[in-house]
A and B are shown apart, each in its own frame.
Chain A
């Protein structure tokens, strides 16, 4: 099993749709989880951290399921500007050192 695994997509969704991505991780002791977005040939930008209790930021909701070792990202009311690659980032040790990135899930929002 890969350390961090994501469906590469692409997910092609119409504007206004709700879309969800999952990311599985292999190390059950992992402590920190993040979602980043990366536009083509640009740097990754933090979208949100993922907390055990789940967290929401506007149209974005992140959840952590430790028992099944996955994190999820839900995007409601998709906008054209949401088109990007979404990277799942896991740190087995807490903090931000030696994190492992997933390969990313590509989202294309269609007018």
Chain B
């Protein structure tokens, strides 16, 4: 069964450093998403991406965040200068147009 894959599974970084979280969406999906979940809290939408551009973003997705599809398979989330409060599980998801999203297993980001 096709699945969304994310790397790394766990990333520890120092405050102020840049991190790139990587995702390989399901191959025939056209919509890609990033969500985050701070420990013990709800899943929060960050951004959706379609046709090589951002289609929606939340207020959380400020100038410190960017997304990119550098090639035909990868979808990345970059956090430019990490803060302690960026520590969370980051989930990538993908979907066909108008269909349900399937989530990757997540990257646990710990900012120290």
B56 within 8 Å of A (CB atoms): yes
Is B42 in contact with A104, judged by CB distance below 8 angstroms?
yes
Decide if A49 touches B100 in the complex (CB within 8 Å): yes
Contact with B along A6-48 (1 / 0, CB 8 A): 0000000000000000000000000000100010011111100
- Give Cα A99 to B31, complex, Å: 13
Contact A43 B103 (CB under 8 A): yes
Count of chain B residues with a beta carbon within 8 Å of a chain A beta carbon: 25
A97→B100 contact, CB < 8 A: no
Tell me, in angstroms, the Cα distance from A94 to B42 when the chains sit together: 21
User: Is there a chain B Cβ closer than 8 Å to A1's Cβ?
Assistant: no
Indicate if the CB atoms of B106 and A43 lie closer than 8 Å.
Answer: yes
Interface footprint category on A:
20 to 34
Complex Cα distance, B31 from A51, in Å, reads 22
Interface residues of B in 79-107 (CB under 8 A from A): 89, 91, 95, 97-106
With a CB–CB cut-off of 8 A, which chain A residues contact B43? 38, 44, 87, 101
Instruction: Report whether B100 and A103 are in contact in the complex, using a CB–CB cutoff of 8 Å.
Output: no
- Chain A interface main SS type: loop
* Contact status B102-A96, CB under 8 Å: no
Interface of B is mostly: strand
The docked-state distance in angstroms from the alpha carbon of A38 to that of B40 is 12
Residues of B within 8 A of A103 (CB): 41-42
| 21 A-B pairs with C-beta separation under 8 A | A41-B89, A43-B103, A43-B106, A44-B43, A44-B91, A45-B103, A87-B43, A95-B31, A96-B48, A96-B95, A96-B99, A96-B100, A96-B101, A98-B45, A98-B48, A98-B56, A98-B58, A99-B45, A100-B45, A101-B42, A102-B42
Given A42-B105, A98-B48, A101-B44, 6 more A-B residue pairs with CB atoms under 8 Å apart are A43-B106, A44-B91, A97-B31, A101-B42, A101-B45, A103-B41
